[in-house]
Chains A and B, each alone.
Chain A
Amino acid sequence: MLQNILLAADPAESVDFMIHGIFSYQLFGQEVWITTSHVCLLIVVLVLCAFFIIGGNVFRHAKTTPSGFQNFLELIVEFLDGMVDKTMGKKGNGFKDYIGTIFIFILFSNISGLFGLRPPTADYGVTLPLGLITFTLIHVNAFRYNSIKAVWADKCSPLPPWLPLWMPINLISDIAVPISLSLRLFANVLSGTVMMALVYGLLQKVAYGWPAVLHVYFDLFSGAIQTYVFCMLTMTYISNAMGGEENA
């Protein structure tokens, strides 16, 4: 009977990491659900809005010798700007706002598992749009900074431009970029969520206190690493697409 003491009575009932519908409504004849990930996303966005409004107020009355909260904010902004500068160089000046925003958003989403929410990034509907924004940015910038001829030559790249035999393979590798970006983030956060749900669901009676260690690894460490990787890859892809004079 040790099993009954240690483990939950009915594992199938108590392990729960799925997205649940809250209420449904009709839209153009389709049944659309408002789910728990919408709610968690809304909470994350509201917290971030409050944070940004307070931060904006602090910076409006900024002092030359920063103290307290202003110090903290300057640390964050300097870290994010430095990251973009180091990866993209001079080309990254226009992307500091975007990269900083998605960095803070993904980071807050990933670590919201610490506060009992289901992380919004553990829903493919949240990470796929992030990947698609990156995809759009890559191709808009490829066309903005290169001539159409250069883009065509790049798409036929191992072969000369008049022989577009290699083009389908290059197109497939372009389409794979947003899919692999979004699946990487999604699967990492989902695996952390599933592991925590298994610990809490199966070991209900003994899961007190010590799962904090697992939270540090799965939510904080893994979440921060994945945030960093998403932003780094986005910046690398964009600066590759912008190209220099020699590799258009």
Chain B
Amino acid sequence: MGEFNQAFIYGCSAIGAGLAVIAGIGPGVGQGIAAGYGASAVGRNPGAKGDITSTMLLGQAVAETTGLYGLLVAMLLLFVKPFKLTM
């Protein structure tokens, strides 16, 4: 195990951070679907635009949370550096 040094761990952390932000794909698709249905709902019923917009934004913000968790994991890996060499 002698060849594993701290730089190797930091490099692996950076790769892990990059993999963690792949979580952003899901919320992107979800928010797009929500916005699309919101737009079609406004098209069908333009009078309810305010209600539709606020419901859409609320749903999108809740859907965004999973992506933000990925971002937080990436931040922790890059800046807090939880993995230290202990030998």
Picked from A18, A187, A225, the residue with its CB within 8 Å of the CB of B72 is A187
Of A39-47, A152-160, A166-174, A226-234, the one with at least 4 CB within 8 A of chain B: A226-234
Residues of B within 8 A of A184 (CB): 61, 64-65, 68
Task: Indicate whether B40 reaches chain A with its CB closer than 8 angstroms.
Answer: no
- Tally of A-B Cβ pairs under 8 angstroms: 33
Residues of A within 8 A of B62 (CB): 229, 233
| Interface residues on chain A, number (Cβ under 8 Å) | 15
Task: Indicate whether A137 reaches chain B with its CB closer than 8 angstroms.
Answer: no
Q: How far is the CA of A184 from the CA of B58 in the complex (A)?
A: 12
Residues of B within 8 A of A232 (CB): 54, 58
Interface size range on B against A? 10 to 19
Interface string of B63-87 (1 = CB under 8 A from A): 0110011011001000100000000
Shortest Cβ-Cβ A-B pairs, 3 listed:
A187-B68, A229-B61, A184-B65
A residues sitting closer than 8 Å to B (CB atoms) are 18, 180, 183-184, 187-188, 190-191, 194, 225-226, 228-229, 232-233
Show 24 residue pairs from A and B whose CB-CB distance is below 8 angstroms, ordered by the A residue: A18-B79, A180-B65, A183-B65, A183-B68, A183-B69, A183-B72, A184-B61, A184-B65, A184-B68, A187-B68, A187-B69, A187-B71, A188-B64, A191-B68, A191-B71, A194-B75, A226-B61, A228-B54, A228-B57, A229-B61, A229-B62, A232-B54, A232-B58, A233-B62
